[in-house]
Copies of this chain bind each other. A is one copy, B any other.
Amino acid sequence: MTEPVLLVLDDDPLPRLDRLAGRARVVHADEKSLVEKLPTADVLLVWDFLSDAVRHAWPGGGRRPRWVHTPSAGVDRLLPELAASPETLVTNARGVFDQPIAEYVAGLVLAMAKDFRGSWELQRQRLWKHRETKRVGGSRAVVVGSGPIGRTIGRTLKALGVTVDLVGRTERADDPDFGRVHGNSALGSLLVGADWVVCVAPLTEGTRGLFDAGAFAQMKPGAHFINVGRGQHVVEDDLVEALRAGRIAGAALDVFAEEPLAADSGLWDVPGLLISPHMSGDTIGWRDDLAEQFLDNFDRWEAGEPLLNVVDKDLGYVPST
């Protein structure tokens, strides 16, 4: 029996590979060699999930792998090119990032309410300066993105006493956790009353540039905006303008239109803007968790069972059941 070829686009080494001993021939590719190696692969693991190389290599000639797995929640770096191959299944890392990102967002909400950055900046200056801070309990949040990460963020904020409105592509009147899920068309009116606006939507043509001058203009002067989705959800110049003009009180970005953020970017020192380097979901051991999740799905693939977390390539995410 011939072993299937698992092509791995990697930067860091893939842990737990011993589970595949005798079951797959593992071939490594970098961004340059991917084009040439792609036709040899049965399965492609996009271990370097921040790369755009797969999308660029995909339209070439020859056989394409029947299964592509990306160990990320977003699949925007594979689309729309892979949608042109209906015989190729795409799976993602649904679930792994839910709790870490929810904790990260809850931490940002509390840190902004309590002005931790202000305190630590005063500490640097050896200044004792008491301030009054905001209560989080009793405030309102709008979470844009109703997949598992958005839902976990919503539940975590609810546990802190925040009233949460969830916005998704598909409106639902009978949501077990949130009462309802609002459709995108309700976003404008929800932004008006929100203390916290959290973006964790999949990046699709419907959500690209969703947070622009018009959206920021609808928010309250006391509102804070948090993006843990994709940089392209935000018109960064509009956000900078809204912060500089005091139209909103603050923002935290973990993702950017171009990553890594260049040292000479104007974003680094915008007042009221907190920056972190695309790490909200990446807790100690995450690489192991991601490898395990892929290998569990490999077991299913090998056994001819249906794969878990299959992306709808037209929607751009794994639809909720």
Contact = CB atoms under 8 A, between A and B. Distances in A.
A132 B284 contact: yes
A264 B127 CA distance: 10
Contacts of A280: 114
B276 A119 contact: yes
B126 A268 contact: yes
Given A160-B156, A160-B159, A135 B278 contact: no
Q: How extensive is the interface on chain A, given as a class? A: 35 or more
How many copies, total? 2
A241 interface: no
A107 B111 contact: yes
Contacts of A19: none
Contact of A133 (B114, B132, B160, B283): B283
A284 B128 CA distance: 18
Contact of A275 (B113, B123, B137): B123
A232 interface: no
Interface in A248-281: 259-261, 263-265, 268-269, 274-280
B123 A274 contact: yes
A277 B116 CA distance: 11
A301 interface: no
Contacts of A286: 132
B128 A261 contact: yes
Contacts of A120: 117, 120, 274-275
Contact of A282 (B132, B268, B283): B132
A113 B103 contact: yes
Given A110-B103, A117-B120, A275-B119, A283 B132 contact: yes
Given A100-B135, A107-B116, A120-B274, 16 more contacts: A103-B110, A103-B113, A103-B135, A104-B110, A104-B133, A106-B106, A106-B160, A107-B111, A123-B268, A126-B263, A126-B264, A128-B261, A130-B282, A132-B284, A133-B282, A159-B159
26 contacts: A103-B135, A103-B136, A103-B137, A104-B110, A104-B114, A106-B106, A107-B114, A108-B116, A116-B116, A116-B276, A117-B120, A119-B274, A119-B275, A119-B276, A119-B277, A119-B279, A123-B275, A128-B261, A131-B279, A132-B279, A132-B283, A132-B285, A133-B279, A133-B284, A135-B283, A156-B160
A-B pairs with lowest CB-CB distance, top 3: A107-B110, A159-B159, A128-B260
